[in-house]
Every structure is written in structure tokens, then in C-alpha cells.
Amino acid sequence: MTHYLDELNPVQRAAVTTTEGPVLVIAGPGSGKTRVLTYRIAHLIEKGVPPWQILALTFTNKAAREMKERIERVIGPQAQQVWAGTFHSIFARILRAEAQKIGYPSSFSVYDTDDTTSLLRTIIKEMNLDPQVYNASAIRSRISLAKSNLVTPKAYRDNADMMQQDRQAKRPYIADIYEKYSARCHRAGAMDFDDLLLQLYRLLRDHDEVAHKYQQRFRYIHVDEFQDTNFLQYAILRRLVKYPDSPENVFIVGDDAQSIYAFRGATIDNILDFEKDYPALQTFKLEQNYRSTHHIVSAANEVISFNRRQLNKTIWTQREDRHKIKLLKCMTDDEEGRRVADLILEQKHRHHLPNSDIAILYRTNAQSRKFEEHLRRLNLPYRVFGGLSFYQRKEVKDLVAYLRLAVNPNDEEALRRVINYPTRGISTATVDKISQYAGAHNMSAWDSMLFVDVPDRARKALAAFRGMVENWQRRAAGDPASKLAADILRQSGLLDALKSDTTPEGIGRLENANAVLDAISEFVDNQEAVPGNDGAERSLAAYLQTITLLTDADQAADDSDFITLMSAHSAKGLEFRSVFVTGLEENLFPSFMSFEDPNGLDEERRLFYVAITRAKELLTITFAKTRYRYGQVRDCEPSRFLEEINSEHFELLGGFGSARQSAAPVGNPRASISGNFAQPRPRPQQGAAATTIPADFTPSPPEAIVAGVTVLHLKFGEGRVTGVEGPAGNKVATIQFKNDEMPERRIVLRFAKLKVL
């Protein structure tokens, strides 16, 4: 037997050597899925399958490149003849050869996101539509979602539900924009990223000879991270695999518990329902985790067992347990940032960790600010992934530029950045004239605005802009900095511009802008708490000086060794010796948006599962009792996910703001805030509901749940409803349960299972 097969455990080996027919490999985190995938391809080639008849689809170019390198180490240079690449790169390669059959030149252009957004802005402008209402980024996402679900411009217009959604959003012309956009792309001989999928599907659907050609070429098809595929990707896969007399040699690798990209169009149903389309499917479960220790693996199993639909598996590990999961509770988000930084320094000394072995994960990019500030305080080098450093993000720089103008209108760089953003009718040509006049007459750009010769429309726009900034200047000396900053965000038009983009990315940008307001409020509060600080120390100018010094800090000399800061979404596929999963609070992690969708909470739980399984040895989970959000200090409740982990896996670190206390077991983290430690909760059975449902239990309709009634909950038992609030369809009940450690709970009625007694 070839030596590389000896490196595999029995289940891995069985998956690799099962070469015929449909195969599903359910690969838990750290279970060696990449090795199985690459060895399977090497094994096929060694058995005599021509490498050019093997297709391997991935989600990143890096994964495809590493796959080929690994195969080459096993069987030699033949690996380079395997068709391995991302969905988009492989499909573009096919389209180059076949594009003329669907009316495109073989040299078609590929539009990236910026190209697409720019073209949509042009179309929106030509249609005389309000760019604030028809935000180009939001329209781009809407069109992308349509294409991912095989909805063409004509099908979009014929879809009553989509058209009704657009009318309700006061954007009834999206169908027209989509139609014009598609026509312009075709006229330009261009495809965007989504077209690479949509047009290939069209090619395979409408041209049988082309479909047959590639069905015969790709005799063995492999798909990595199958749980991340969308409807259109799966439709293309079926076109290539399912045809008369097909051997259905499709090998998919994935983990439903790591499906976290629904907001991008990925559907978990592809992996959950795969067996329905392939009855002859052979399934292999890679359940041994080679990455993490027992406490981490067990906690992950316990959390994911609460999800409703899943492919049952129990991950296990033989790695030695030396550390429990550390649970850090803090009074404020600032304390969270400080104590995480301090713990990192402690871990570096105690465990001799390089910076590159440490990661801080969070639910939203806006959370990075606190950690950045405190890591800088300790001179710990870091790098922000999945987004720019907080103060380098465009929306943050835009708002800060307005704040700088309010303090110093002669700041020309700030002026150039925002003078026409959001759009107010001041063209680039006008700005260039202002700069030229200022240079010729040795005056600031701000002053030259009064004298430069521009058309009347531009002059009126300049006057309105100056009047707005001058009003802020007058207020800067006396008004509270936080109040002035909030008014600048609103009056400048930035707030409306950010609100108009309702995509996940757009919501993140709005959160980042609000995080600046939080930072200013906190800065002022902190300065007021220091005896002797006068008004100047609490001013907007003082805050701007503080962050300028912060953002101008020198970079570490050794740029290769840094602490990683990233969102939990960005961490998928990575691993670190020490991981900090932060902000485990209700409405943050899980996100408040998850309560709008019955499947949203399951996806948030999968995201938490992904986050904690990035850790190899040291895992620290943090939450705060209060957090600055939207300019105010808000009380926070620990995440429900913490309740789903048995207390035996936790070690509690310290109290609120106190020195670190000796480790003690913790029960329910929500109860631990008030010092009441619960007994370890019985572990739910894998794949079963958390509570056994009584045979006669029938949930009452939400409208029957009113203040004063007694209800039965499957998990919390009997309780009394003390109040119901919120709009119809999204009401929240406050309930006092008799035998629960919490004084009261707030439950969303449309998701709750409550029976009126």
C-alpha cells in the first residue's frame, strides 16, 4: 500500500479510497479534511485517472494553490494538470472558450465590485433617481442576490414578491436598473462576478453539446467547503454531474456546523439535503479533532447540539487538557479591551507565545477599536484582518474629517475629502479651481472658496457648505463634544448616506460611525472623572488630538509577528494557540438581527462554534456588563450561548474591575453576574432537542400570551407573564419562571414555544 495512505486514520482512509459514486465527507473542525481531499485526488491519479479529468472547486485561490502543492508532493508534477481553482476562476476559464455561444467575446472583461458600483451609479444618475434612496452598493447586493437565485432581469420583473419588496422599500425602479445594468454589461462585453456563475449555467442549460463536453471531461468532481455553496453553484454542479448514465462521481467535503455565510447567499440546505438528490450516497464522518483540547471540543459539541437541523456527529480529541476555557466578565467594554490586552501580555510571558499565535475575534468590526487602543498602550503589535484598522475605515475617516473641519476649517485635506461627500453639487473641477486659486493667492482653500470664479450652482453649493461648517465652528468652543459630533454626523448627510445601505456591510459601516460617537462620549466622561480637567480637556479638539497621536503610532519593526484581530466570520479556516472570543452578549453575539429570522439564531450559534474551534490550547471568552452603543452606556446581558456550555469546562477570571481572583468553577454566566453560581446543567444529547417534549405539549398562539397568564416553557418550566411589549409580529414577553435562576427572562413570542396553563 502506498505510504501516504498510512498517514490516514481509518475513516480518512476509507473516504480517500472510495473513488466511485457520490461521496459526502462530513469534516469537523481540525479533522484533516484538506489532507483527505488532496490525498483522494492523488489516489485517483495513482490509479490511472488522467489528472485533466479531475475537477476540484474551492472558495479561495490560496486553498486551490495549496491543494495542488500537496498533491504534487505526493505524485509529482502531474498535479499541475488537475483543474483546481475557485468556482469563479474555473468557470471563467470555461467561459473564455465558449463565450461566443452566448453572445460574448472570448476576451470579455470581468467587472470587480468597484466597476459594478461605478456603473450602477452612472445608471442611477442617468435615470434621475435619488442616489441616497438608490444607494449603488445596496442595489449591487440586491442584483447579486437575484443572480445567485437564477433570477434574470425579466424574471425579476415577473416576480411579484420581489417587486412588492422594492415598492415597500420605496425603490420601485430596481427592476429597471437591473435591466439597464445587464444590457450595459453585455454591450461592453463584460461580466461581473455573479455573471461568471449565471452565464455558465445558461451555457450548460441551453447548449447540450457544451454540457456533454464538460460532463465527459470532468469524470471526477470535488467540492471543498460545500456548506458555503449557494443555489446557483449547486445548480451548476448538478448540470455537470447528473445526466443519463452518469457515474455521479462527485466528492463533497463540508461541515454543516460551519455554515456561516447565509448573508452572502450560501444555503445550508445544499449539504443537509444532498442525500435526497444522490440516493446512492456514501457518507464518512471525520470526527477526530487534531487541533483542539478536550474542554474546547466538548464545549463546541454542547453548543452546536442546540441547533435544530444538523447532520449528527460527535467531535472528539485525544489532545491533552491543560487549560479550562477562561470566562472573563467585565464591567465595561473598555475594561474588556484593557483586560484582554493584559491577559495577552501574561500569556506571552507564561506560555512563551509569539504574537502570531494569538487572535482576538469579535462579532462586528466596530468592536476592534477598544482592543486596538489597549494593545497600543502595551506596545503589542497587531494587524486587523477582514477590514481596515478602525481609524482607517472610510466611514470613520469621513466623519473624522468633518470633525476636523469644525475645529480647524483651514485643514485642506479634510476639506477635500468631504466637500462633496455626500454629493452636494460641488464637482471635482470646482475643487481643483479652489486649490489652484488658493495656491496662486497664498491663502487657505477655505478662504479661497469666497473668491474663486465658479458657476452659480456651484457657488450656492459652496455657500451652503460653508454656512454648515461655520455653524459647527461657532458651537465647537461651548457645546458638549458628543452632542456636536452627533449633530455633525446627521447634518452633514453622512448618517442618511450610511443608513441607505442596508446590506450587512452597510450596517457594519453605520455601526463604525456610531462607534466614533461612542468613543467621543466615553472620552468626555473619562475626562470629567479626572479632578482638575477643564473644558478644554473635554473638547472636540482634545479628542481629535488624542486619536491623531494614536493613529500615527509607529509600526512594529518586525512586521511578521503580530496579534490578529478579526471578525468571527473572517477567522473561518484559521487556527491559533490562543483565541479570545469577545463580546458574548445578547443582541451582540448573537446579533440582534438574528431574531428577525427563525434560522438566524442557528446561524449565529454556528458562528460561535466556528469561533471557539479556532483555538488549539487556550480559549478565553469575554463579556461586558455595560457597553457604549449609539452614544449611550447600555446594560448588557450575557449571551445565551454561554448557558449552553457545561460549567465543568469554565474557569472564571476575576470580578468587575477587580484584580484577577483565583479560578473558580462557574455555572450559568448570567447568574454569575450577581454572584449566584448554578449547578452544572445536564448536557444535551447530540442531535436531540435540548428538552424532551411532553406528548401533550401544544404551544399556544403568540396572541394568547398576555400579561398575567401562567405559561409553560419546555426549558424553563412554569412561569408568570409580567408584561408584553413591542409591535405586532415582534412582541417580547417578560416572564418570571418559578424554578429558574434568573429573576426574569425576556422572550420573543414568535420564536417561543409557550403553552398557556
- Segment 605-632, tens digit of pLDDT: 999 999 999 999 999 999 999 998 766 7
Cell numbers for 664: 473558580
| Sign of the torsion angle spanned by Cα atoms 598, 604, 610, 616 | negative
Tell me what percent of the residues of the chain surpass a pLDDT of 70.
87
Q: pLDDT (tens digit, 9 = 90+) per residue, 432-482? A: 888 888 878 877 788 889 998 889 999 999 999 999 999 998 888 778 888
Cell numbers for 634: 447600555
Higher pLDDT, 659 or 697: 697
Integer distance in angstroms from the first to the last C-alpha of the chain? 66
- Tell me the pLDDT of the chain averaged across its residues: 84
Residues 409 and 448 sit within 8 Å (Cβ to Cβ): no
Cα→Cα distances 150→94, 197, 273, Å: 19, 9, 19
Identify whether 525 is a catalytic site residue.
no
Identify whether 100 is a catalytic site residue.
no
Identify whether 34 is a catalytic site residue.
yes
Q: Count Cβ atoms below 10 Å from residue 153 Cβ, excluding itself.
A: 19
Average the pLDDT over 705-732 and give the result: 78
Q: Among 204-213, 375-384, 424-433, 737-746, which is the least confidently predicted range?
A: 737-746
Phi and psi at 8, nearest 5°, equal -100, 150
The number of angstroms, rounded, from the C-alpha of 62 to the middle of its chain's C-alpha atoms is 20
Identify whether 33 is a catalytic site residue.
yes
Catalytic residue among 180, 339, 614, 731: 614
Encoded amino acid at 375, one letter: L
Cis bond upstream, residue 590 (ω within 30): yes
Average the pLDDT over 120-134 and give the result: 89
Query: Where residue 713 falls among pLDDT bands split at 50, 70, 90?
Result: confident
Q: What is the DSSP letter of 19?
A: -
Does pLDDT of 664 surpass 70? no
Catalytic residue among 98, 194, 224, 643: 224
Catalytic residue among 12, 13, 33, 373: 33
Higher pLDDT, 678 or 353: 353
Query: Where residue 690 falls among pLDDT bands split at 50, 70, 90?
Result: very low
Does pLDDT of 572 surpass 60? yes
Catalytic residue among 53, 58, 258, 564: 258
Which of helix, strand or coil describes residue 192?
A: strand
Cis bond upstream, residue 422 (ω within 30): yes
Higher pLDDT, 550 or 490: 490
Does pLDDT of 300 surpass 60? yes
Hey, which residues does 622 pair with through a beta bridge?
Answer: 328
Higher pLDDT, 526 or 382: 382
Average the pLDDT over 515-535 and give the result: 71
Residues 74 and 38 sit within 8 Å (Cβ to Cβ): yes
Catalytic residue among 34, 78, 314, 551: 34
Q: What is the pTM of this model?
A: 0.73
Q: Which of 683, 686, 714 is nearest to 700 (CA)?
A: 714
Q: pLDDT (tens digit, 9 = 90+) per residue, 135-192? A: 998 899 899 989 988 999 999 999 998 999 899 888 999 999 999 999 888 877 888 8
Identify whether 746 is a catalytic site residue.
no
- CA neighbours within 13 Å on the CB side: how many for 684? 21
**What pLDDT does residue 726 have?**
63
Average the pLDDT over 536-545 and give the result: 71
**What pLDDT does residue 730 have?**
58
Residues 292 and 324 sit within 8 Å (Cβ to Cβ): no
197-200: list long-range contacts, CB under 8 Å, 24+ apart: 197/87, 197/88, 197/91, 197/147, 197/148, 197/232, 197/233, 197/236, 198/147, 198/150, 198/152, 198/232, 199/95, 199/99, 199/102, 199/104, 200/91, 200/94, 200/95, 200/236
Residues 757 and 710 sit within 8 Å (Cβ to Cβ): yes
Cα distance between residue 197 and residue 204, in whole Å: 11
Cell numbers for 610: 466556528
Q: Among 237-251, 319-333, 650-664, which is the least confidently predicted range?
A: 650-664
Host H or E run for residue 735? strand 732-737
Strand arrangement, sheet containing 563-567:
382-384, 563-567, 358-362, 576-581, 615-624, 325-330, 650-653
Identify whether 614 is a catalytic site residue.
yes
Catalytic residue among 98, 225, 411, 617: 225
Cα distance between residue 253 and residue 251, in whole Å: 7
Average the pLDDT over 341-360 and give the result: 95
Query: Where residue 689 falls among pLDDT bands split at 50, 70, 90?
Result: very low
Cα distance between residue 359 and residue 385, in whole Å: 10
**What pLDDT does residue 552 have?**
36
Encoded amino acid at 111, one letter: Y
